[in-house]
Structure 1
Amino acid sequence: MIKKIILSAGLLFGLHSFAQEGTSSPYSYFGLGKDRFRGTQDQRAMGGLAIEGDSTALNLVNPASYSHLRLTAFAVGGTTNFTTLKNESNSENAKRTTIDYLAVGIPMGKFGAAIGLMPYSSVGYKFQNIATDVNGIENTKKFTGDGNINRFFGGASYTINKNFSVGAQLEYNFGTIENELIESHSGLQLSSRERNTAQIKGMTYNIGLLYKKKLTNGLNVHGSFTLSPETKLNVANTRNIATTVYSQSSGAEYVNDSEDIDVPDYKITVPTKYSFGAGVGKQNRWLVGAQVTLQNNSKLINLSSANTNGEFENAQTYTVGGYYIPKFDSFSSYFSRVVYRAGFRYNKTGLILNGQSINDYGMNFGLGLPLGASKIDVGFELGKTGTTNSGLVQENYFNISIGFSIADKWFRKTLID
């Protein structure tokens, strides 16, 4: 009963939290928004490294890991993000708290399965451009946007032999993204407003492979591969054009005239994405590895009709990371059983603005705090996105993440003597 209460409360909390604004990045104006990390907090604390399966915890990056489970695993995690956004002359601070994933994994002998909910991308920006034309008239454009694309997923995997496991995952993506442009001119009381609302839904899928080879000296060699083929999501668009009056005294916006415009529905491409990684380690002691993720972002387009800026190129992410456990079965020292994790990540995001590739760098470290077969994962991330060159914005961010992994035999039979 307690487990059912935990799961039900988690689902209700998660569904509400996924609807919140998940980013404060101006770069979420482009494409499908800002990509969210799609893994658990223990993987995030290693820079995103996800090259092995676990018997008591979920690996949400590679569906081939589900058959490695030996206990039913319930996982939930969230992040608080602190960001400083700055250009060549100004800076502002922002804070966001989000739920990152909610999932359950079930072992079934050589098979394993998992279902869950996590965000795919988020939009959350607010900025303006001010320019003066040749007649001395000041033109102001205010851009705002918010929304999320979420992903409900279900996957299964099979352990072929002691070295290989394979898995596949089906994902239903859904969400609403709203983009708004308000344009005003000095000397004119009325402003024009264009509001575009995109309702997005569609299926994607992911396949994975995990490899593990035991060596004679007690070491294990790990390998990982995932592939998410190119798919298309359906976009149902609505557009509203209005003239507005802004009240300086109340700060309120009043609509003077409004008209809905018919906009054809269309499909948007989710590019092919694949990753491969490898590492070496000793069971329940340490692991070090590297991972490369590639995505064909050159096929992306912008959702907003007002967005004519930016180009897209193929994205690349390079990760190195690992963990260390002093003595996992220590009875005398709790901190000898703690998992110490660290990682580094470089991400070429695939977005080009004003001739500059937008890159992201991050350093991670974290702790896995054991609670029997369950655990609490705490992670910290320090990073930077973008640059102040060419009139752009640089984001300096610090993330605090926490994840709970509850493992138990939920479906064992009750015996009566």
Structure 2
Amino acid sequence: MKKLIIISSIMLGGIYVSANAQSGTNSPYSQYGLGVLSDQSQGFNRGMNGLALGLRYSDQVNMLNPASYSAVDSLTMIMDVGLSGQITNFEENGKKINANNADFEYAVALFRLMPKVGLSIGVVPFTNIGYNYSSKYNIGSSEESVLTTSTEMHSGSGGFHQAYVGFGWNAFKGLSVGANFSYFWGTYDKSISVVNSDSYVNSIVKTYSTSVSNYKIDLGLQWQQRMSADNYLTVGATYGIGHKLGADVEAVISNTNTQTNVSDKTTEIVKNGLSLPTTFGVGMSWRHSNKWSAGVDYTFQKWGNLDFPEYDASTGKYVMKSGLLKDRNKLTIGGEWVPNAMSSNFFNRVHYRAGASFATPYIMVNGHDGPKEYSASVGFGLPLNRSVLNISGQWVRSEASGLIKENTFRINIGLTFNERWFMKWKVE
């Protein structure tokens, strides 16, 4: 009972931190869609740039494929917590600026519930929203003696999270199935303020907000085959159920006369305006004894058939529109190497990891495709008795023609506690 209380306290602490943590992004692209997508990987596979679907370990929590839970050792309780810090360089028209962020990433746990069944609980981010920038433009022609300068200020905060319970079952030799059942929640607040230098021109403020409280279900499958004495092939697949989130999205438009300070306020509400996409994933890995493993993942998120709310300036209405989102594809390769896991030499027991990914955007920006994403990572798993300190560095580049370019360098730190809580000691 004490152990269950400890686990529950860690998970509840993770939920609290997730709900109140600073946003993990400063990207202006987070104003579109549901925000900047999180990769949801844990400490061990962040060094492999999020490789997960075909990975199957008895001493790690791999929540991206719940079928992997059935591999957990029967004597082991695994807990894993992680955080990150990053610096991002934004570049537009030859101008550059940097921004720093730190964020709580995840808290997960895994143990054997019964023979052939593993149970995992945890809290992970789904998206992050956080941006604050402004732009200026002139109203009128250059021939006029006086031009009105308008300043547009954009800001937003929020994000969405998952608190999940997952099961993995080894249905029969070589084949495992699993599912994550998540409570999905979050909020966002976005605003656009237009202020004019001419006091005779009205100022306009548009605010968009929502609150989500719903569910998310993800299914997984893994098939593992022993190819020779020391070689194993694992094939994995996942399916995420797409559905409406039941959230109303509100737009409030305030038009203020700067001479009289009188505001005309209009409120528009879009009922049930947000959705989760249907998601498919396949992956494969090859493991050689306890020395090295390598794999590849492909995921597809069907955002393109989802409508999204947008303010229509021509009609003054807040309505659902198609064509604001698009299908997302992501390809990841990665692997790890351990010189000698049983060696007395510390450096021979370190896990050395690397990975790379390419992803297409799921958002449209002013009628054009959003930024493509290129990323790569290297990492280390440092053994600390039965625990592991996972440290990785990741570089992410987001770019699209004519849009802001982002280069992010991120440090991920995760600590995996691997304790034999369920061992029964015999005293003679």
TM surpasses 0.5? yes
For 1:297, which of 278, 294, 303 is the aligned residue?
Answer: 303
Is 119-128 or 9-18 further displaced after alignment? 9-18
The answer to whether the 8 Å contact 2:7/2:109 transfers is no
CA distance, structure 1, for counterparts of residue 310 and residue 190 of structure 2? 6
Partner residue, 2:38: 36
For residue 393 of structure 1, report the CA deviation from its aligned partner: 0.3
Q: State the superposition RMSD in angstroms.
A: 2.6
Residue of 250, 267, 271 corresponding to 1:265: 271
> Partner amino acid for 1:409?
R
Name the stretch that deviates more: 51-60 or 322-331.
51-60
CA distance in 2 between counterparts of 1:335 and 1:301 reads: 52
Q: Which residue of 2 aligns with 1:69?
A: 72
Displacement, 1:97? 0.8
Distance in 2 between residues matched to 1:6 and 1:234, nearest whole Å: 31
1:205 and 2:217 correspond: yes
Q: State the match for 1:250 in structure 2.
A: none
Match of 1:111 among 93, 108, 117: 117
TM-score w.r.t. length of structure 1: 0.89
Letter paired with 1:79: S
Given candidates 197, 217, 222, the residue that maps to 1:186 is 197
Q: 1:217 to 1:264 in 2, by over 3 A?
A: closer
Q: Which amino acid aligns with 1:91?
A: K
Partner of 1:229: 241
Alpha-carbon distance between aligned partners in 2 of 1:202 and 1:170, rounded to the nearest angstrom: 11
Q: TM-score, normalised on structure 2?
A: 0.87
Alignment counterpart, residue 54 of structure 1, candidates 43, 52, 57: 57
> Which letter does structure 1 place at the counterpart of 2:378?
F
CA offset at residue 104 of structure 1?
Answer: 1.4
Where does residue 138 of structure 1 map in the other structure?
Answer: 149
- Output the amino acid matched with 1:204: K
Matched to 1:69, the amino acid is V
Taking a change above 3 Å as real, the CA distance of residues 329 and 286 of structure 1, as seen in their structure-2 partners, is same
Whether the 8 Å contact between 1:32 and 1:303 is mirrored in structure 2 is no
Structure 1 distance, partners of 2:11, 2:17, is 10
- Corresponding residue of 2:348: 336
Instruction: Tell me if structure 1 keeps the 8 A contact 2:338–2:351.
Output: yes
Identify the range of structure 1 (236-245 vs 279-288) with the bigger mean alpha-carbon deviation. Answer: 236-245
| Alpha-carbon displacement from aligned partner over 1:299-357 (angstroms, at most 9, x marks no partner) | 344455379998432111111100000000112x0110110000011111223435345
Q: How far apart, CA to CA, are the structure 2 residues paired with 1:76 and 1:289?
A: 24
List alignment gaps of at least 5 residues for structure 1: 247-254
CA distance in 2, matches of 1:414, 1:7: 25
- Please say if residues 41 and 402 of structure 1, whose CA atoms lie closer than 8 Å, have aligned partners that are also in contact: yes
Q: Secondary structure at the match of 1:349?
A: coil
For the 8 Å contact 2:30–2:129, the answer to whether it is kept is yes
- Aligned equivalents of 2:361, 2:253: Cα separation in 1: 32
% same residue: 25
- Counterpart of 1:249 in structure 2 is none
- In structure 2, the residue matched to 1:101 is 106
- Offset, 1:240: 3.7
CA distance in 1, matches of 2:149, 2:219: 53
Q: 2:339 aligns with which of 322, 326, 329?
A: 326
Over residues 142-194 of structure 1, what are the superposed CA-to-partner deviations in whole Å (9 max), with x where a residue is unaligned? Answer: 11111011111111010123311110111111111001010122212762212
Q: How many residues align?
A: 406
Amino acid at match of 1:169: N
TM superposition shift of 1:276: 0.6
Measure the CA separation in 2 of the matches of 1:63 and 1:178.
32
Residue 139 of structure 1: how far off its partner (Å)? 2.5
